[in-house]
Structure 1
Amino acid sequence: MEAVPPLSQTLQRLHTLIQEQGLDQSVLLDPEKLAEQTALPEASVRALLHGGATLPADSVNDRVRSRIRTLAHAHIRRTGSRMSDLASRVSERLGVSEVWARLVCDGKKVPSVEFLHGLVRFFDVEGGEAFFTAPADEALNRVLLPIVDRLQSSEGGDPVLALMDRYGVRATDLRAHGSLTREQLERLLEGVLRSVVPPGGGRDQ
């Protein structure tokens, strides 16, 4: 099994690929989006992106409570619901009391291993329980490694992946269009290009 590179190495490779391919670093390494994907504080993400500054020490329980609370509040904002609504849904889905579900979702109690496993499915997070328990640098690294893989694939000449990265198009952005084939995706991106490239393929003077 290939060893996972540390965050510092991942960032170094990312910066090289971004520079070589002329991509928009602010799109690929957007601290706000990365914070959402990792359930880390945006300030922590920014610190890690700028050289992996040492973050305050925390315990596994601190991480679990913080990341569950972050996911819960993001869910509430996204759905326009209330904490009581979320607690009710978690209670019904995972078979715990609403009181306990609310305490966990509010970051006031640490869930059992079984409950944590259920929250992985409920919030549909990648990485299993490690999403909640991994140190901040490992959590960010987990999200950045697929970006490295995608950019390295585009180096091999895949124009679709290259265009998606150049214009900040993510797979998640295309969910509204349903399941797209490669040909359909190419046509969609060609439409994007036609909207930004002058007629005849000329360049701005």
Structure 2
Amino acid sequence: MELPLPETLRRLRAHTEEPDLNPQELAAETALPVDTVRALLRGETLPPDTVDQRVCWRVKTLADAYLVQNEKRTGDLVAAVAERLGISEVWARKLLKGEKVPSVTFLRGLVDFFEVDGGEAFFTAPASEALNRVLQNRLRKYETPMADPVQVLMERYGVVAADLRHHGSMTPEQLETLLAGVIRSVMPTEGDAPR
């Protein structure tokens, strides 16, 4: 069950201080204005908005951030989105400038293009829900830490997936020792020169 934003904030603040509540970082993750994030963190109620306003703002925000992060020109982004969505560049430019509301089909394409978490709800959810989704992900790392030593090691060493065929044939400690040794053996050390 999803917690309401005030409860998520209360519980998160009990575990951490500012690093998980940085308004600029949260604004970037949610495609919300920094002032909106700050107001929500203070517990303020926001003025009502429409789904269309949210979608247009968040698409524009993502497009602007994409251009900065990828050092691309607007025309390059417009062409890429137009090709991905199968629309004209004129229509793509209007979408990316926040002047037109994308259809559900185009919204799904934008989710894929910008690789956002949360699907279409990333664009359509009210600001409090969008912020709450991100904060709950942060809260989970404190309240439901990984207990599986294999998963912990895989995360520590950047391993994406593994299939251990002999389930239960080793104790967790033996498995951790084995995997740590294998991973260390293939990881370059600081003194190794690139070949």
Q: TM-score, normalised by structure 2?
A: 0.75
Higher helix fraction (1 or 2): 1
Letter in 1 for 2:97: D
Q: Deviations over 1:21-46 (max 9, x none)?
A: xxxx2211111111110000011111
Q: Deviations over 1:115-152 (max 9, x none)?
A: 01100000000111000000000000000111111011
C-alpha separation in 2, matches of 1:17 and 1:119: 34
The answer to whether structure 1 residue 39 and structure 2 residue 37 are counterparts is no
The answer to whether structure 1 residue 143 and structure 2 residue 134 are counterparts is yes
Q: TM-score, normalised by structure 1?
A: 0.72
Q: Deviations over 1:71-129 (max 9, x none)?
A: 00000011111211101000111100010001000101101110011000000001110
Letter in 2 for 1:98: E
Aligned with residue 50 of structure 1, among 32, 42, 46: 42
Shift, 1:68, TM fit: 0.2
Aligned with residue 11 of structure 1, among 2, 9, 12: 9
Query: What is the total number of aligned residue pairs between the two structures?
Result: 164
C-alpha separation in 2, matches of 1:94 and 1:59: 24
Shift, 1:56, TM fit: 2.0
The answer to whether structure 1 residue 108 and structure 2 residue 106 are counterparts is no
C-alpha separation in 2, matches of 1:78 and 1:95: 24
Match of residue 194 from structure 1? none
C-alpha separation in 2, matches of 1:15 and 1:178: 28
What SS class does the counterpart of residue 144 from structure 2 fall into?
Answer: helix
Match of residue 202 from structure 1? none
Q: Which aligned runs of 4 or more in structure 1 are off by greater than 2 angstroms?
A: 153-156, 177-185
C-alpha separation in 1, matches of 2:77 and 2:47: 30
C-alpha separation in 2, matches of 1:36 and 1:10: 19
Unaligned residue ranges in structure 1 (runs of 5+): 19-24, 162-170, 186-205
The answer to whether structure 1 residue 132 and structure 2 residue 123 are counterparts is yes
Unaligned residue ranges in structure 2 (runs of 5+): 162-178, 185-195
C-alpha separation in 2, matches of 1:66 and 1:50: 22
Match of residue 21 from structure 1? none
Aligned with residue 50 of structure 2, among 39, 45, 59: 59
Choose 1 or 2 for highest CA Rg: 2
C-alpha separation in 1, matches of 2:18 and 2:130: 20
What RMSD, in angstroms, separates the aligned Cα atoms of the two structures? 2.8
C-alpha separation in 2, matches of 1:65 and 1:73: 12
C-alpha separation in 1, matches of 2:130 and 2:142: 20
C-alpha separation in 1, matches of 2:58 and 2:69: 16
Change (3 A) 1:155 1:47: farther
C-alpha separation in 1, matches of 2:158 and 2:100: 38
